[in-house]
Structure 1
Amino acid sequence: MSNGKSTDENRQENFRTEYGVVAEAWKFFASLRFIVAAFAVGLQSALFTFYMQVGKATTGKGAGALIIALVGLHTTIAIMWIEERTVMFLLKTMRRGTELEFSFGAIDGFFHRLTEEFFLPQGVRKIARGIDGLTIVYAILFLLWLYLLVANLINP
């Protein structure tokens, strides 16, 4: 080869470069989940505050409460979609990181350990994991907004 390296050395170097990119992508998606969760808390808090203020300001909640409930429901659905997509990317980066570690012979590498911890827990520990925990929170928000929407449609 012109650079003095064998094909296998070049391949290993490319794998190492890709491993760095995969690790950075994993860090980005892991932090994105918490950024989206923080945004969701702020947005949902503001919407609940507006919803409660509409109820205090008028005898019947009317169109204002209905609109806020619709916005709350739609934003919760959007946040759930973002979460689902982010988790998908996290899992893909974990899988690729594990594959690259295997190609290096690093059987006990970061992604291998992460994948092991991610897929092995059972019972209560499984529910306590971040992905399942956020899913439960978003599902509860969805049900709450759905309840408020239906309540406003039935009893304006």
Structure 2
Amino acid sequence: MKPNWSAIYHRAFDIGILLKGFDGLLELIGGIALLLTNQPAIRSAVAWLTHKELIEDPGDVVANHLVHMAHQLSMDTQHFAGIYLLAHGVIKIGLVAGLLRGLRWSYPAAVAVLTAFIGYQGYRLLHTPSISLGLLTALDVAVVILIVREWRRYVLSDRV
């Protein structure tokens, strides 16, 4: 029995879009939290989150990096990150809603926006390599490919 590649790609599209929606929701929540939280609260939250790990392993790289970042966080950086995450989240959630509803405009808009995000993330990766950002970028590339395939299928089904 031959696999139904069209159905497999469509399922992958749905899963990828839902992941982007979840990512957008997390960015939205993170952006709001950064904009509504003061710096002492951020430092306190990071200390609480890393406390047990640092007791077990005082040299833990990730925990120490988080503590260092929290103490070096400027108000300007906090506000920029909050606005950036908030905007990212709103845009992604809007695009995901359009894609899940099959709105024609959402396909090219999603490809354009995600391609811009990929470009920026690629720039960031060149200057500050990060495994998590690399994985997120790879997911974005895969989702763009799936959106283009789905868009073609959508356009072709209109012609028939």
Shorter-chain TM range is 0.3 to 0.5
Larger Rg: 1
User: Normalising by the residue count of structure 1, what TM-score does the alignment of the two structures yield?
Assistant: 0.39
